[in-house]
Amino acid sequence: MSDKPVITQKQPYETKVEAGKTYYWCACGRSKSQPFCDGSHKGTGLEPVAFTAERTATVYLCGCRQTADQPFCDGTHSAL
């Protein structure tokens, strides 16, 4: 397997998160549970990105895996 992330979509994942809960964003793009990790990264050299929601809200998680603000979308997909 490659250590290069797979682009799962060229738009963010609109995702509801709960305050205080920790989430693991899929950084490899291979998870079947997008945008969250399901362990599919094993052997890729990539690791999921853990984040704890500061508040209950809707967030936009990167789908192209090219963001500079992991795990959040920064609009990089617009240039792909």
* Per-domain boundaries in the chain: 1-75
Name the pTM for this structure.
0.93
Nearest by Cα to 36 from 44, 26, 49, 47: 26
Q: Looking at the predicted structure, is the pLDDT value of residue 2 above 90?
A: no
> To which residue do tokens 């990167």 refer?
62
**Per-residue model confidence as pLDDT tens digits over 4-63:** 899 999 999 999 999 999 999 999 999 999 999 999 999 999 999 999 999 999 999 999
Q: Which residues contact 10 (CB under 8 A, 6 or more apart)?
A: 63, 64, 77, 80
Q: Could you tell me which residues are beta bridge partners of residue 14?
A: 60
Cα torsion 64, 70, 57, 52: sign:
positive
